[in-house]
Structure 1
């Protein structure tokens, strides 16, 4: 019974295929190719100026590419209820009327790329409740309007790259609750559309490539907690990321390549604890600092190709226990020490080709692990020393390694003890020269054994010399110079003594001290008195100083008199006499009970 039922299903399926084939072979044969077995109608490259008529509802795929279609009318495809895929790419479409696709209830894929659309009106995509993929790339669209995609609730991928897009309204993506992938490459946006992006709470992948953005501000991608893959590349004016620009994201893959970042954005990255893939290639990054990437606990791949990288500091990848791929090809690295990694045991792929590598003891660890490491078909090449220049890492034998990959211990050249003495306020240079292979780095420690840097009043110069500017008494002590390279360290201490100015604890009859300089009388000091110090200024300097001060005083007085004269002239004629009335104190009678008499007086004053 089961076998008979199966035969009946096969029979009726063959009959259905024949019926559909006959139905499709008739009306569309004149201008299109019908493929009954695939339920497909191919009208590509037929010089069509309009959508052909007579395409029956059995078709599930309709190809209208490479024609001359300019307008899609309302309900243009209303009869094709079974259509699953519609491709209108490579036409001349400039107008799509509202509800042009109405009736395509089962449509899953709609492609309208490489046309001449400048604007898509609200309602154009009405009647497309099941579309999963929409491709409107390579048009001339200038703006995304509010609710433009609202009637496409099932849309999962929106391809909108290579348009003239300059503005995305705040509610343009309203209704796209299921959108997972958005591509906005090669648009003219200069700012991240933060409000519009906040509508896409289900987004998993976002591409911002070849755009004119200059920075990523704080909260650029807020509400996108489900986003896993963010790609921002080929943005030559992007030179900074705000500290909280990536806050709220739980990315597993991040690409920030072909931009203008001068350093790794440590602060914006530190919270991305689920990040596994990081690409910072083709940015002008010169160094990777130590102990700043440890928060990226799950990081497995780091790509930093063509980034002008000069140095990777020891401990740069400390804490990255799952690190397995490092691509630093086409940089300016001289070496990559084992101390850079948390552990080289997890490392599987290492790309160092295109770097001027010095094949010495610092790269011996790579040679010893070359059988476990993969160079992806591009093995590193030695640039120095001369005896191995141009040789690939795979060309060395195990016997050669101990003799060629060596380093020479760092050694300080001047071993003679230095005792530098100076007066307070002077600038002092403490020298420390060393040699070794590789060239040792010079560090200085203060008398309190704190590390001195290349900034501040006491700083280390680029040639390793320690500069003490405006020396103070408290700067006195033993400074330690340390020369270090991969083969070992050497050190020497240098003594600095700073003599302060004399104290001002003197009696009134003795010499007077000001700022460490002594002023004494012409009499010779008596027994037990301190010798006077020479006067710090010569006679000529004093005469000039006194003269300048006297002239300044006279000029100030003259200006005051001139001002008073001009002010008095502006008041008109001045009276030279003044009459003053006054009332003198009252006088009582002799008995003390008489009436009090009051007398008034007047006198005239003459003003001189």
Structure 2
């Protein structure tokens, strides 16, 4: 019987999971090989330096001093302001539950296969770059690296510097990251591509992306698999206007959505975008606090549906400071049917 590629990988990973043991700090005689990294209580590795370091070489040495049952650790912290990259198989044969890369002022790229063996065990990944991290460059693909993490639960990447997330940005190795609950990708990102999170997990509860988003492509938040989990899509603090959304951007999420659009530059809610979204699920919520809406004819559709949508569109303020829902429909009498006023 011929196995499909994904099934073969799944069987291999299940087999590997039975081999995971516990960590053990190498003997003191080996410490010069691991400088500037230290191992604490057989559970934690910390690497700190003001200079760039060859993490791959360090962890290769580290692995060779341990047998296969001693290579799994609870956490790894890397604090190196001059670190330039996470290269292929950076962590050798070591595996971790949690990885924190902090103070990455010069971190620029992450290899597609940076995580190697720890792709199976890693649960929490935090990378704090400082605005130089790019997503794709000559075998280095941040989003494919993220997709390789089989049992990941929480991903937090900051300091990304790209124009747009690619279409189908997150491509899990086995088709779905079932354990993933929270995904945060922040930095200088101007556009979200189509189907960016299409294969994200059934249990995904929170997506946060920004903080310079100006445009969101159609189907950006489509999901392949339906879920009963409520999903928060946090787009707060970006540069979104009333014209930033392509059609059907929120219509195929296949789950209830809390959409946070607070502190953007919204002048109105486009009827052709938000009326279908709100009608799709009476539990869908849009938070527009911190946006001073122009309560003109472009918002008449919402005023007409006051009874239907008042509980779904929250914290709406007009540019004159009045709560939108205190506006009477009579104030829109001069609007013609389907009239649109350009901003």
Note if contact 1:98-1:124 (Cα within 8 Å) is conserved in structure 2: no
1:323 equivalenced with 2:225 (yes/no)? no
Distance change in 2, residues 1:242/1:316 (3 Å):
closer
Shift of 1:138: 6.7
**Residue aligning to 1:266:** 194
Give 1:419-498 correspondences, 5 Å limit.
437-439=339-341
Shift in CA distance, 131/125, structure 1 to aligned 2, threshold 3 Å = farther
Contact 1:147 1:175 in 2 (8 A): yes
- What secondary structure is seen at the aligned counterpart in 1 of 2:200? coil
What CA distance in whole angstroms lies between the structure 1 residues aligned with 2:312 and 2:144? Answer: 40
Offset, 1:99: 1.0
Larger helix percent:
2
Establish whether residue 215 from structure 1 lines up as the match of residue 140 from structure 2: no
CA 1:171–1:192: 2 relative to 1, 3 Å: closer
How far does residue 317 in structure 1 lie from its aligned partner after superposition?
1.7
**1:180 maps to which residue?**
97
Match of 1:332 among 249, 265, 290: 265
Q: What is the rounded CA distance, in whole Å, between the counterparts of 1:294 and 1:222 in structure 2?
A: 15
Over 3 Å counting, the alpha-carbon distance change for 1:272 and 1:167 in structure 2 is closer
- 1:165 and 1:291 mapped to 2: Cα distance? 32
What is the aligned partner in structure 2 of residue 228 from structure 1? Answer: 153
Q: Size of the alignment, in residue pairs?
A: 287
Structure 2: how far apart are the matches of 1:252 and 1:407?
Answer: 47
Q: Show the counterpart of 2:3.
A: none
Residue of structure 2 in register with 1:241 after alignment: 166
Q: After TM superposition, list the pairs within 5 Å mapping 1:459-538 onto structure 2.
A: none
Quote how far apart the aligned CAs of 1:183 are: 1.3
Alignment match, 1:131:
42
Which of structures 1 and 2 has the bigger CA Rg?
1
Q: CA deviation at 1:125?
A: 7.3
Q: Which residue in the other structure is 1:30 paired with? A: none
2:300 paired residue among 350, 355, 361? 361
Higher relative contact order (CA 8 A, sep 6+): 2
Contact 2:197 2:220 in 1 (8 A): no
Do 1:100 and 1:125's aligned partners in 2 also have CA atoms closer than 8 Å?
no
Cα 1:293/1:352, change in 2 over 3 Å? farther
Distance 1:171 1:335, change over 3 A: closer
Distance 1:181 1:247 in 2: 19
SS in 2 for 1:338: helix
RMSD: 3.8
Check whether the contact 2:317–2:323 (CA below 8 A) recurs between aligned residues. yes
Does residue 131 of structure 2 align to residue 206 of structure 1?
no
Which consecutive unaligned segments of at least 5 residues does structure 1 have?
A: 1-96, 103-119, 384-388, 411-435, 441-608
Deviation at 1:348, TM superposition (A): 4.8
State the alpha-carbon separation in 1 of the partners of residues 110 and 93 from structure 2.
20
- Change in CA separation of 1:313 and 1:237 when aligned onto 2, cut-off 3 Å: closer
Gaps of 5+ in 2: 1-25
Question: Aligned residue for 1:158?
Answer: 76
How many angstroms does 1:182 deviate by?
0.8
